[in-house]
Chain A
Amino acid sequence: MSDEEFLARFAEVVGQEPSSLNFSTDLQSLEGWDSVAYLGTTVMIDENMGVAVSPEIFVDAVTIGDILAAARVAQE
């Protein structure tokens, strides 16, 4: 899964236009970033990257890029 694909899928999860997001976007600035989005993001990563990420990443992550980085680490 490319970085661009990740961003597009993540935008779907939080109900935003992909063009409005980048990897530096602060998660807390997203209105749709809530407990339901945690589940949606978990599913999106599991489906597309084949890994069930630990929920702790949602506590530690500050930006969208942090989530992708954590997912890439989990893949290794």
Chain B
Amino acid sequence: MPGSALVGVNYTLGSASLTYEDIENRFGVAAAAKVLKGSGIRNRRVAPPGVCGSDMAFQAASELLERRPGMRERIDLLIHCTQSPDYQLPTTACLLQDRLQLSRNCAAFDINLGCSQYVYALSVAHSMLSSGVARCALVTTGDTMSRTVHPQDRAIVPILGDAGSASLLVPAGPGADEAGFSGFELGTDGSGAKHLTIPAGGTRRPLSAETAVEVTDADGSTRTAENLYMNGAGIFHFAITVVPSTIQKLLAKLNLTLHDLDLVLFHQANQYMLDYLHKKLHIPPEKAFCYLENVGNTSGSTLPVLLTEAIRQGRVKAGARVLMIAFGVGLSWGATVFRASPELIVEAG
């Protein structure tokens, strides 16, 4: 059975900024310094009013397809990843199929996951390409999670940014030395859903006067049940337990070790967590790469943003073996290993 390979990746950041000075003005000098120390995030790129996650995905995809004449017509699978869709329905992927002028013979659907969305979408695209259901896949991500946060939530406002991305996948050969995906490791622990959630606004708890009531917690953060809530300690505990074990499982499944990898890319949650994961897993600096200080945590888009930047900064060469792992809301996680194709390096560079 043939595999699949990434042959293009691109991203678009929110065009507005939430700067260090903005955080100082909103939460105080000491709070801003504390956030920078704890998260490693100085500035954030956020979507301005009126811009949806799909708009950033559209821009990233348009730029990518303009560089690849003839590719637009070949795409027969579009997977859009978002937790901030344009509408309740239809699914945002259908709207993107039309905006991007893709074929009507193109399957299009959304994946509603957060931080882990990119790896999940890659695994689905890989499966559909490998089985022959699809022959050319476009995977897009796009979220505006910064808008789900209460402006006076001092725990999350300083963390989140907005971005969109686009990735192209095509079938690839089955050889171990060939470019393409080697395997995936996916997982879920729904018992931890309470750690990262927007409690109200769905069918379980519809919007009401009660859900709009503001509550200020012991740390001085204000939010309503309609805003994003994050238990930072809960997520941190989840990450430092599930990430090492997932990487170990994936590498064992592929009969690889850390020495066989050229680069390990983590979901860009916060620098404190990343530094500890690198240390815990004994990942040396030459195999690590971070990109969040002036971008923020862009939820499910952090990995395609990170991969694109790693390529542009010369950290990924053709043939390089890269591990990507994402984890977050759900709780949900996914990891993959792939060899970088020459086309990927050219298209992202």
Q: Give the B-binding residues of A (Cβ under 8 A).
A: 34-36, 38-39, 42-43, 46-47, 52-55, 58
Contact = CB atoms under 8 A, between A and B. Distances in A.
Contacts of A36: 34, 37-38
Nearest to A46: B240
B268 to A, nearest CB: 16
A39 B280 contact: no
Contacts of B34: 36
A55 B155 contact: no
Contact of A42 (B37, B155, B240): B240
A52 B241 contact: yes
B102 to A, nearest CB: 44
Contacts of B90: none
B219 A55 contact: no
Interface string B260-291: 00000000000011001000100000000000
Contacts of B232: 35, 38-39
Interface of B: 34, 37-38, 155, 219, 231-234, 236-237, 240-241, 272-273, 276, 280
Given A35-B155, A36-B38, A39-B236, A55 B272 contact: no
Given A35-B219, A36-B37, A46-B280, A55 B240 contact: no
Contacts of B219: 34-35
Contacts of A34: 219
B155 A52 contact: no
Given A39-B236, A42-B236, A42-B240, A55 B38 contact: no
Contacts of B241: 52
A46 B236 CA distance: 12
B38 A52 contact: no
A36 B155 CA distance: 10
Contacts of B276: 43
A53 B240 CA distance: 10
Contacts of B233: 35, 38-39, 42, 55, 58
A42 B237 contact: yes
B234 A52 contact: no
Given A35-B219, A36-B34, A55 B280 contact: no
Given A34-B219, A39-B272, A43-B240, 7 more contacts: A35-B155, A35-B219, A38-B233, A39-B233, A52-B237, A55-B233, A55-B234
